[in-house]
Amino acid sequence: MAARAKSRGTGLGRVALEYESRLLGFSEKEAKEEMLRRWDIMTAAVERGLGERDLRMSLLRPSAGRIFKAEAAGNLALGGPGTRAAARAMAVLHVSNSGGVVCAAPTGASSGVIPGVIATLVETRNLSSEQIALALFAASAVGLVIARRATFAAEVAGCQVEIGAAGAMAAAAAVEAMGGSAELALDAAAVSLQNSMGSVCDLVQGLCEIPCHTRNAVAATGALVCADLVLGGYINPVPLDDTVDAVFAVGKMLPRELRCTSLGGLAVTPSAQALRNLR
């Protein structure tokens, strides 16, 4: 993908748009419109989650909206766009775990990361609909590599291929949105994955709430950091293909207790097991 983009003088998003259009038999205009329809679903989930409307989770009470307001009031230790991206990512998971509509990106349990990142870039960089669509296509290009070379199933390879994959996809989207090359977008994705490698799936009481909500938040902020590192001059020595292969190998080494079975990690702590279901 990087070579094709370089030869054509385009970014990663444009190459992914071409691929998707041909795969589905759509015109590029139709493919962009369909991607933006998904973006509308993402933004609706962000808004509903931040507004804390009709949210009813099993273990957690809504907090994304409060975090967002606290950041706006200047009451947090750091604040800024990274924190807003984190709160937006959590907001989407609040909706997901309340039975609302989200866009799996790449999975339901990781659906907050990409909208959290891109919505924050829309806010800070005033992205056009064209830029949003291409950023989402760049994210999908990274998702395609992970799907082809590994998996999106935490049952197979842990949280690193769900929320970790979402972070990698979001990092590439951020680079694309800033006008970075396809090579830089793929490098940002690789760096993001390298820093989520080994992440286990230890969902408390078998629900995608704890620690999934805060992991989405941290992955969103981390995606922006990884994009900045690469855009700022970090040279990534291990490319995305090798990184995905390593992540997949590590995931298969994880014991079953740490692969979505709720038999290890946070899931077996006394405090987690004592939590009362709020529904």
Helix, strand, coil shares, percent, the chain, to 5? 70, 0, 30
pTM of the model: 0.98
Task: Give per-residue pLDDT as tens, 70-86.
Answer: 999 999 999 999 999 99
CA 204 to chain centre: 20
The CB density around residue 39, as the number of other CB atoms within 10 Å, is 21
Q: Is the pLDDT of residue 7 over 90?
A: yes
**CA dist list (Å): 166 to 201, 219, 270:** 14, 8, 30
Q: Residues 180-189: what's their mean pLDDT?
A: 98
pLDDT given for residue 17 in this prediction: 98
Report the C-alpha dihedral over residues 16, 35, 162, 93, rounded to 10 degrees. Answer: 160
pLDDT cut 90: percent of the chain above it: 99
- Asked if 184 and 175 count as a contact pair (C-beta separation under 8 A), the reply is yes
Q: Across all residues in the chain, what is the average pLDDT?
A: 97
Q: Is the pLDDT of residue 212 over 90?
A: yes
Task: Give per-residue pLDDT as tens, 14-70.
Answer: 999 999 999 999 999 999 999 999 999 999 999 999 998 889 999 999 999 999 999
CA distance 108 to 18: 26
How many C-alpha atoms does 123 have within 13 Å on its Cβ side? 13
Instruction: Tell me which fold the domain 9-273 belongs to.
Output: 2-methylcitrate dehydratase PrpD (1.10.4100)
Task: Give per-residue pLDDT as tens, 134-162.
Answer: 999 999 999 999 999 999 999 999 999 99
Task: Give per-residue pLDDT as tens, 219-269.
Answer: 999 999 999 999 999 999 999 999 999 999 999 999 999 999 999 999 999
